[in-house]
């Protein structure tokens, strides 16, 4: 019996990438042969602080140490994107019961749209359970240090973009 490569897609806006995101990506990299970190290039819901190219560049710098991880953009139905990259699973991080409810609903949609592609929900590690990109953006916009929540190059990019903030 020949077993194919297990490829996972970790989708998100990553605006900006946080240590919580990186924790999920690193854990996924141990579970799957190849992880495609898929950056949503378009959004009907939100206007990102960073462009898609900037978010991909920040992510590439953040995951460069993970040999089986690549960063790509997508601007289509997630199910279609997953089929395009040959994914066998979606990997999503969940922090709260509300996250679980939302992701469980999306899992059911994706099961209908992408038969044969399962969803793996990874609970947030305790130290990152509170962390969200929107919280990081808000804190940075008010000048707070976010150095402990995002990689140094991301904290610097936030300070440059917002013209605020201080280092720890």
Q: Is 83 an annotated catalytic residue? A: no
Q: What is the DSSP letter of 86?
A: T
Q: Is 21 an annotated catalytic residue? A: yes
Please give the C-alpha separations between residue 139 and each of 92, 93, 155, 166, in angstroms, as whole numbers: 24, 22, 11, 11
User: Which residue in 5, 6, 43, 46 is the catalytic one?
Assistant: 46
With contact defined as beta carbons under 8 Å apart, do 28 and 122 qualify? yes
- Mapped to the 3 state alphabet, what secondary structure does 116-163 carry? CCEEEEEECCHHHCCCCHHHHHHHHHCCCCCCCCCCHHHHHHHHHHHC
Q: Which helix (H) or strand (E) holds 37?
A: strand 34-40
User: Which residue in 29, 133, 137, 159 is the catalytic one?
Assistant: 133
Q: Is 55 an annotated catalytic residue? A: no
User: Which residue in 95, 111, 153, 161 is the catalytic one?
Assistant: 95
User: Which residue in 21, 55, 81, 159 is the catalytic one?
Assistant: 21
So which residues are the catalytic ones? 21, 46, 95, 133
């Amino acid at each position: 019996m020949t077993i194919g490569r297990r490829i996972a897609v970790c989708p998100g806006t990553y605006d900006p990438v946080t240590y919580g995101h990186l924790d999920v990506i690193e854990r996924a990299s141990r579970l799957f042969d190849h992880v495609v970190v898929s950056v949503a290039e378009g959004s009907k819901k939100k206007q990102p602080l960073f462009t898609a190219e900037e978010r991909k560049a920040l992510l590439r710098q953040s995951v460069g140490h993970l040999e089986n991880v690549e960063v790509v953009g997508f601007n289509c139905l997630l199910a279609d994107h997953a089929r395009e990259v040959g994914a066998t699973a979606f990997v999503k991080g969940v922090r709260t019961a509300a996250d679980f409810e939302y992701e469980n609903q999306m899992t059911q949609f994706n099961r209908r749209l992408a038969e044969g592609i399962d969803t793996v929900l990874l609970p947030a590690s305790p130290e990152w359970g509170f962390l969200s990109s929107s919280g990081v953006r808000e804190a940075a916009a008010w000048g707070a240090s976010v150095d402990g929540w995002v990689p140094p190059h991301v904290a610097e990019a936030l300070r440059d973009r917002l013209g605020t903030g201080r280092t720890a």
